[in-house]
Amino acid sequence: DGGITQSPKYLFRKEGQNVTLSCEQNLNHDAMYWYRQDPGQGLRLIYYSQIVNDFQKGDIAEGYSVSREKKESFPLTVTSAQKNPTAFYLCASSIRQGIEAFFGQGTRLTVV
Amino acid sequence: QQQVKQSPQSLIVQKGGISIINCAYENTAFDYFPWYQQFPGKGPALLIAIRPDVSEKKEGRFTISFNKSAKQFSLHIMDSQPGDSATYFCAASRADSWGKLQFGAGTQVVVTP
């Protein structure tokens, strides 16, 4: 089955720690995205990548980092610089010329 | 600031009724307007989408109405069913943005039996 796999589903982080969220897709999509979802605020774009080894900041990139070493993978690191990291994180992908975005099932990150 | 404004925040409708969700945008460069449906704990899934060259698009019980001059678009869910209970997001993007979407804040729809 083609799709986007995010792991883990739930993640707990102590304050001051970095954590990495995994996103893998087997849709052969060129573009990948990370969104953050908070209650009542919709989805906000963190980072996006249109091609391997290249990525751009979205609207709320501060405190986050990404890499795109393979077409299939776009991991997101939530660093200790992110002041309010507790949220639902969603990874998405789209084809090169298309604009329909397909989403993974999300990772819920909680700071304890 | 939010580029896509969505209302209402929540909506309760009886089974068989019509759910209506409205969205407004400012950026006239937007040319793709999708609606996503999200169930609790899941990622959003594309429901229906429209481009500004048409004023209405219907897929089953779901209809998008688009008013380019007013910069508004809306989702109508006809004959609402309990299984439609979910959060609905409108979004907008530009053709050159490779799927980079600006989302509304979401509307939680509850369909009562």
Query: A33: which chain B residues are within 8 Å (Cβ-Cβ)?
Result: 99-100
End-to-end CA distance of chain A: 35
Nearest to A103 by CA among A89, A88, A93: A93
CB B106 within 8 A of CB B6: yes
pLDDT digits 0-9 by tens, A58-67: 999 999 999 9
B98·A96 Cβ contact <8 A: yes
Mean pLDDT of B7-17: 97
pLDDT number for residue A69: 97
Is residue A104 within 8 Å of A7, Cβ to Cβ?
A: no
Inter-chain residue contact B101 with A103, CB threshold 8 Å: no
Residues B4, B25: contact at Cβ < 8 Å?
Answer: yes
pLDDT score of A1: 60
Tally of CB atoms within 10 A around B32: 19
Distance CA B110, CA A32 (A): 32
User: Region B21-28: what's the mean pLDDT?
Assistant: 96
Q: Which residues have CB under 8 Å from B41's CB, separation 6+?
A: A105, A106, A108
- The answer to whether the beta carbons of residues A21 and A107 sit under 8 Å apart is yes
Mean pLDDT of B18-43: 94
CA atoms of A45 and B77, how far apart (whole Å) = 28
Q: Report angle CA A103, B61, B7 to the nearest 5 degrees.
A: 65
| Closest to B70 measured CA to CA, from B6, B105, B23, B18 | B23
Chain B CB within 8 Å of residue A90 CB: yes
Interface test with A, best of B42, B98, B102 (most A CBs within 10 A): B98
Q: Which residues contact A105 (CB under 8 A, 6 or more apart)?
A: A4, A6, A9, B41, B42, B43
Q: Given this model, what pLDDT does residue A16 score?
A: 87
Interface of A with B in 22-41 (CB under 8 A): 30-31, 33, 35, 40-41
Confidence of residue A100 (pLDDT cuts 50, 70, 90): confident
Q: Which residue has the higher pLDDT, B24 or A14?
A: B24
pLDDT of residue B100: 82
Cα angle B107, A105, A54; round to 5: 105
Q: Which of B78, B47, B49, B44 has the alpha carbon at shortest distance from B61? A: B78
Mean pLDDT highest for which of A2-6, A14-18, B1-5, B8-12? B8-12
